[in-house]
Amino acid sequence: MKWSKEGLYDPLFEHENCGAGFICNLKGKASNDIIHKALEILVKLEHRGAVSSDGKTGDGAGILIDIPHAYFNQVCDFDLPKSGEYAVSNVFLPQKENQKDFCKEVLKSHMQEQGLTVLGWRKVPVNKAVVGRIAAETEPQVEQIFIGQNKSSGFAFERALFIARKKAEHQIGGSGLSQSDFFYLPSLSRRILIFKGLLMPQDISSYYTDLLDPRVVTRLALVHQRFSTNTFPTWDLAQPFRYMCHNGEINTLRGNLARMLSREELLESDAFGDEIKKILPTVIPGKSDSASMDMVVELLLMTGRSLPEVMMMLVPEAWEKNPYMHSDKRAFYEYNSCVMEPWDGPASIPFTDGQYIGAVLDRNGLRPSRYSVTKSGYVIMSSETGVVDLTPDEIEFHGRLEPGKMFLVNMEEGRIVEDEEIKLRIAAQHPYERWLKENLIHLKDIPYNECPVFYGEFPLETRMRAFGYSQEEVQRIIHSMAVQAKEPIGSMGADTPIAVLSEKPQLLYNYFKQLFAQVTNPPLDGIREELITDISLTLGSDQNLFEVAPDHCRKLKIQNPVISKEDLDKIKNYQGDSHFKVESIPMLYEANRGYNGLEDALDILLEKASQAINGGANIVILSDRMVSTEMAAIPALMACSFVNSGLRKKTSVPK
């Protein structure tokens, strides 16, 4: 069921917190006992979720396991290839039979289009009696699809599955079916299988009766219990997702989604060919922060990157001010900061692709993750301790995941891979340090010019009035910041009416507040917590995510977004590199143009920015300099926002 805006309700205002954990056999030995222990973890995490008014509908729970090949060989009424040579997924389908048949046919046709074979369908045995009344209203029909690889194999097979599934999702999502939202594939893989739904943790195995069959065995299991505060609970938004689950919040979500959307026009791949445009958008709108991140993980895996490398890109540790970090690892993080912004927030993220299983913790360490290794070879990790009953004599050792660190189990090698080992191995794949030295330009290294005096500007006091500065702001805020170089601190109590209710004229900026943690964490203090905070940014053109090349870091790096007049002049007149072209565009308009003057000025501004970019500019300065009684300035916040969103719809960044 899709939840949309209604009255004052907007699903974007929802938040999230939850519990997650995994268990695996260090030696890669499969057993049914792992499933039972994983379900025990899930039940122990029940307090991390919530229950609806019917007393039976949960917020969502699920379990990820290996594909039980031997079991499927016995219960399927069609022949299966060898393990690893076919893919399987549970498929959520509409309740209405005609719509269900349509969805199955669409999925089949896209599989065949990719040269794959639908080996057969299996109706998943479920116990509908355990479903709550509210969950039953949107309960999908669940069937399993089995796909043969034909000529493609390995990564090519995974890519074909990805393309077919994405195209089916987009076609069905835009079909106009009344129950199109029911269609969903929790996973489609040759390694793992996901059972999940809008269920209570203790009801997962009761609902999916396959999980109780002793013939179903696995080497690993990943479980998640969701407290749906980021989106309204639905069957498809239960976790785990295809490669990860998530305990925490992604505070940078809106910016992450906007940047991913803008990058899509640059995506090119010889392996995908023309199909690459048909799998877009990468992130399906309206999903949770965790689901959105999982879709980005999946796209990056399709570029040939490994899962640990992708997690390093998306959830980097605090590298900027750590003098003890290895230079290769620092270079990896700095290079990838030019490629992809962090998906930041308090988060513990368990992940697996069926080969590796592990977890990564955010740089702040604001979500606990603890693990135990037993003498019998089990590795158990969860958002809290005590999720599996263990006696002291069973314990080999305990540990905790530290801020920014990665915990990784390689079951093929039968060992836990240390954080430093896996990261240095990944960092050594390319000469990141050399690429940075040859391409990344630092603003602080550019010499100052003779900054020109702008004759004709109105006096400072007049300009302050034009831009809405009050005496209180000058004396209490600006003066304090200028003298002490610190953000001024006031009392917590503020009786000033919010801008939208104020009877006095307000600056546009007063209508907006900075977002930080959605639920549980206070804003970080960038001074006291300097080690883990960073406000630097890079300017320049983005490149194709499918390529790992020096061009990604051909950018201008600024350590602080608040720059002086002299620094702005350095950027505007920089001639040291032919790959940078700077264009300055005035954001002024005639003050007497009437009621539509501002709207017309915004359209003109967007058109000029578009022309500048098509002319090769990769840094655009919007300038409100030379404001006067005749020429008013478009508020900078409005101008930047309008141009940023308008360019995404109108133009692509040239190479």
List the one residue out of 202, 208, 296 whose CA is nearest residue 255: 296
Structure-block tokens of residue 108 = 């089949």
In 325-383, alpha helices (H):
327-337
Structure tokens that stand for 322 in this block:
């750590």
- Please give the Cα distance from 626 to 293 (Å, whole number): 43
Between 327-337 and 419-427, two packed helices, what is the crossing angle to 10 degrees?
Answer: 60
Catalytic residue numbers, as ranges = 18
In contact, 36 and 52? CB cutoff 8 Å = no
Q: How far apart are CA 234 and CA 228, in angstroms?
A: 9
CB 227 within 8 A of CB 18: yes
CA contacts within 13 A on the Cβ side of 336: 23
Q: Do the Cβ atoms of 193 and 66 come closer than 8 Å?
A: yes
Pairing of strands 619-623, 582-586: parallel
Rounded-to-integer distance, Cα 313 and Cα 300, Å: 10
d(CA 77, CA 90): 17
SS3 93: strand
User: Phi, psi at residue 582, to the nearest 5°?
Assistant: -105, 135
Identify any residues that bridge with 25 across adjacent strands, giving them in sequence order.
Answer: 378
Q: What CA–CA distance (Å, rounded) separates 382 from 411? A: 18
